[in-house]
Structure 1
Amino acid sequence: MKKSVKMNYIFNLGYQLLLIALPLITTPYISRVLGAKAIGTYSFTQSIVTYFTLLGCIGLGLYGQREIAYHQNDALQRTKILYELILLKVISIALSLGIYFIVFQTFDEYRSLFYIQMIDIFANVFDINYFYQGLENFKKIIARNITVRFISIICVFAFIKSPQDLPLYILIQSLSLLFGNLSMWIALPNYIVKLDHVKLEIGKHVKPTLILFFPQIAVSIYTVLDRTMIEVLTGNTEEIGYYEQAQKIVKLALTIVTSLGTVMLPRISNLFADHDMHKIKEYIYQSLHFVMMIAVPIMFGIMGIAPNLVPWFLSEKFMASIPLVMMTAPIIVFIGISNVIGIQFLLPTRRQKAYTLSTIMGSIVNLICNLLLIPGLLSMGATIASVIAEASVTAFQLYCVREDIDIKKVWKENRHYLLVGACMFGVVYALSVFLTPSIMHTLFIISVGVVIYFVILFILKDKYIYTIMQTVKDKLRVKSS
């Protein structure tokens, strides 16, 4: 990977970790103060709000990032596209808010919460992260958001004291989203130009955004609908609470893997515009290798440390989340691979149809599995359904690119990571069960797991590890000379 790609990966990884890790700083506190029922209630109402957020955004995030990437070096054209997409989003968000206001009137029990969460939908009017991502300027995104996120954390610790403070907690989360998006506008004048006598063409963006909108709706079915279905099929918000917290832990780890996709989409889009398919495939093979090298140990690591992590991190009230964390962990590998194939290859090369079909198939699989498994297995049923759905999406996408990517070659070069990861899991899980749950023991177990994994790779002479070591040696040699 070029230096800019590596740096952008680091910046975007920092940003994505910021979005999830900072709320997770409050998770041990919130788990104890609000409890499973209140957290489950928030997760359920948030799942409903997410549908309307998706409706309002209509696929503009990925589409905008791609289109800005196509015109990175054309200030006039990228400014025109930005204005058009902002106007389109204003219209779609207004329609979404109108429908939302009508629908949530039917939820008597949660009506006050839905009123507050209207802010979430409105906040997306000001979301222009896709513009900076398209320009591959990830540093700006992190710098502007970090202050807002820290303020929200301070507010949580200062004002949230009991389950009765749930509405205030939701308000803090919603306002942090709004002000975080608004902060992105401060530096915007430096990247756009004045449009004089330029006709804005909003209509031309409707069809391509809708093409990307449908797979996002499909994805939401197996990432959000599970929470809704647990409530509808069981009426048990505590189960949603267990499920939500387990998902948070796994999604934090998943961020390390999927951040590469956000960085590579604009880079590959730019290469596709230059008709450089050879370089695109080179990047894809590198991405797959990188994803497998880190996704596999993260998956086994999360499975292994769950018994030691959950009791102190979420509190003993969430012991039911331990098996959910362990069962959810495989999605780290499945989503990691589908992120490379779908986000880094299919979308930038304008193969939206295959991407859309994969997500639709995944949503259908998830819906069927949820209906079959949730009534009997509750949150575990939703967890199993999600894993099966993600596996089906990955399998279908691999089938779609079989003529472009040598799958056998990828498997042959990366299968040893599974064996090494399994060896690491055995040691990590044994330590996790044997040692008393505590932050120090969890950190110790993680350290042992990391050492075992990379030492074995070094012994096996993994070429990727040796490449990294050689790069570090070369840089140290240059600095010392």
Structure 2
Amino acid sequence: MNKLSKNYLMTGGYQLLNILIMLIITPYLTRTLGSQSLGIDAYVLSIVQICQIMGSLGSTVYANREIAYVRTDKNRLTCVFWELFILRILLGSIVTVFYLVIAFHSAYKAVFLIQLITLLSYYLDVSWLYIGTEDVAPLTLCSAVVRLCTTPLIFLFVKTPAHLNLYVAIYAMTLALICGILLFGARKRVGRLPFGQLNLGRHLKPVIALFLPQAASSLYVMFDKTMLGLLASDFSRVSIYEKPELIVKAPTVLAMALTTVTMPRIAFCHARGRKEDIRDLVRSSLELVFLLFIPISAGVAIVAPIFIPAYLGPAYMDSVRVVWILAPIILAIAMTNVSGSQFLTGCNETGYLSLSYLVSAVFNIVGNFFLIPHLDEIGASFTTLGAEWLVVLIQFSAMYRILGRIGIRQIACKKLIAGAVMSAVILPLPKLLGSTLPVMLLQIAAGAGVYFIALVIMKDSGLFHRLNMLRNREG
């Protein structure tokens, strides 16, 4: 198994662990903290994440790429690492001042101040060093062990809505502990601080160029919850939207795992002018994205009427409609992980990246401003749906212009047909057999089986290619 595949499996395994942890703690939190407290937490965290993007000026993605460019040269690697690390601290310190002003003027000052630990952990994070050098094993193992050790604390100490601050503290300290361990491990990968060789200024222009798409993407991904907190009828609507949104977006971490290991490889090929290798990487990523996320998008929407009330509780019945509206963004996010996070970022095409996110951010903010006061979380859901697919349209147009034809119809056609057949088979089952959890499990199992059989019958090349890869590894 090559290094890229190993990194993807390790990163994907860690992301699956995160999904599993989320699946375990979410129903507990919705029943102990309640929608009002969880709405406050989601509102504050959205502001923390916006400050994180503003403070880092998009330097995390930039750092991944720059480390990938110099990973084979220890001296240059050391210099680039320290330049970026110091730059992130300086920029983060400025934004932290503004965050504290917001915190001390908020009705939820205690939550804001606890989340300051989270914000500082973002600025001190050095995971980009491990990702850029394609050495993700220490990153994933450290993060997994810490999360497995801290998650039980939630069940031990968080019992009522009054324990919101305690829950936020556990979350913040988990990130801080991971950050500290990775920072300690970074000493073995880079040399000592080379004071005389540092040139922080050379990074400002490209960092700012990447800041625009990063800032815009944060607005349309995170600002929906901020606007819900400001414009909706009450804070419980934030949680009614945020929890199903997390469920819908949970499968997309698999696409993010693919990006984590593929983007540095694309950046490496781009630096050496290997365009055909980049095209092959993009096609391979799209094959996997369509293979996995077409059935997942349909399946999540179909099982929502049974899953949501059983999982989140009766208070979240309104979240079913949110899932129905948001389900198509699973495929959209997975596609833009290939076009934007992998290709446009790896090839330093930040102009197109900025355009896609800025247009979608404006669409999202304007749509939320008009729809949330009248439709609450439903308005935010429709706006998010439109914004995500607008990103797909702009980024894929740019990718075709730069890379040429990729054959996306050939890649997606049979998978779309198989997804439609799967949906037609499993959609009527609750009406025939009842809306129970066993029926939902039957829908999932039958859906996977029907989808797989349909692809085999149509002789889908992407499926057979991956089956052959598995067979060769076993051999």
Q: Same fold (TM over 0.5)?
A: yes
State the alpha-carbon separation in 1 of the partners of residues 347 and 147 from structure 2: 35
State the alpha-carbon separation in 1 of the partners of residues 299 and 337 from structure 2: 20
Give 2:287's match in structure 1, choosing from 278, 284, 289.
289
2:223 is matched with 225
State the alpha-carbon separation in 2 of the partners of residues 471 and 136 from structure 1: 21
State whether residues 297 and 330 of structure 2, in contact with CA within 8 Å, keep that contact through their aligned partners in structure 1. yes
- SS of 1:450's equivalent? helix
Count residues in correspondence.
475
1:144-182 deviation digits (Å, cap 9, x = unpaired): 111221222111000000011111111111111111111
Q: Does 1:172 align with 2:170?
A: yes
Using the TM superposition, name which of 250-259 and 159-168 deviates more.
250-259
1:139 is matched with 137
State whether residues 79 and 192 of structure 1, in contact with CA within 8 Å, keep that contact through their aligned partners in structure 2. yes
1:285-330 deviation digits (Å, cap 9, x = unpaired): 1111221111111101111111121122111221111111121111
Q: How far off is 1:474 after superposition?
A: 3.7
State the alpha-carbon separation in 1 of the partners of residues 427 and 314 from structure 2: 19
Q: Describe the shift of the 1:165–1:269 C-alpha distance in structure 2 as closer, same or farther (beyond 3 A).
A: same
Q: How far off is 1:407 after superposition?
A: 5.2
5+ residue gaps, structure 2: none
Q: Describe the shift of the 1:49–1:436 C-alpha distance in structure 2 as closer, same or farther (beyond 3 A).
A: farther
State whether residues 271 and 277 of structure 1, in contact with CA within 8 Å, keep that contact through their aligned partners in structure 2. yes
Give 2:236's match in structure 1, choosing from 226, 229, 238.
238
State the alpha-carbon separation in 1 of the partners of residues 23 and 467 from structure 2: 32
TM-score normalised to the size of structure 1? 0.94
State the alpha-carbon separation in 2 of the partners of residues 441 and 139 from structure 1: 39
Give matches, 1:306-455, under 5 Å.
306-406=304-404, 409-432=407-430, 440-455=438-453
Q: How far off is 1:20 after superposition?
A: 4.4
1:4 is matched with 3
State whether residues 420 and 457 of structure 1, in contact with CA within 8 Å, keep that contact through their aligned partners in structure 2. yes
State the alpha-carbon separation in 1 of the partners of residues 192 and 459 from structure 2: 55
1:31 is matched with 30
Q: Describe the shift of the 1:433–1:314 C-alpha distance in structure 2 as closer, same or farther (beyond 3 A).
A: farther
State the alpha-carbon separation in 1 of the partners of residues 282 and 37 from structure 2: 43
1:80 is matched with 79
State whether residues 8 and 263 of structure 1, in contact with CA within 8 Å, keep that contact through their aligned partners in structure 2. yes
1:130 is matched with 128
- SS of 2:171's equivalent? helix
Q: Describe the shift of the 1:444–1:141 C-alpha distance in structure 2 as closer, same or farther (beyond 3 A).
A: farther
Q: How far off is 1:198 after superposition?
A: 4.2
State whether residues 119 and 175 of structure 1, in contact with CA within 8 Å, keep that contact through their aligned partners in structure 2. yes
State the alpha-carbon separation in 1 of the partners of residues 463 and 383 from structure 2: 35
Q: Describe the shift of the 1:21–1:93 C-alpha distance in structure 2 as closer, same or farther (beyond 3 A).
A: farther
State whether residues 291 and 463 of structure 2, in contact with CA within 8 Å, keep that contact through their aligned partners in structure 1. no
State whether residues 7 and 134 of structure 2, in contact with CA within 8 Å, keep that contact through their aligned partners in structure 1. yes
State the alpha-carbon separation in 1 of the partners of residues 182 and 435 from structure 2: 40
Using the TM superposition, name which of 397-406 and 314-323 deviates more.
397-406
2:94 is matched with 95
Q: Which amino acid aligns with 1:398?
A: F
Q: Which amino acid aligns with 1:257?
A: A
Give 1:111's match in structure 2, choosing from 109, 112, 121.
109
State whether residues 15 and 141 of structure 1, in contact with CA within 8 Å, keep that contact through their aligned partners in structure 2. no
1:456 is matched with 454
1:51-97 deviation digits (Å, cap 9, x = unpaired): 21112222121011101100111111111111111111111121111
State whether residues 303 and 425 of structure 1, in contact with CA within 8 Å, keep that contact through their aligned partners in structure 2. no
State whether residues 261 and 344 of structure 1, in contact with CA within 8 Å, keep that contact through their aligned partners in structure 2. yes
Using the TM superposition, name which of 355-364 and 402-411 deviates more.
402-411
State the alpha-carbon separation in 2 of the partners of residues 472 and 223 from structure 1: 36
- SS of 2:112's equivalent? helix
TM-score normalised to the size of structure 2? 0.95
- SS of 1:190's equivalent? coil
Using the TM superposition, name which of 176-185 and 465-474 deviates more.
465-474
State whether residues 307 and 432 of structure 1, in contact with CA within 8 Å, keep that contact through their aligned partners in structure 2. no
Q: Which amino acid aligns with 1:39?
A: L
5+ residue gaps, structure 1: none
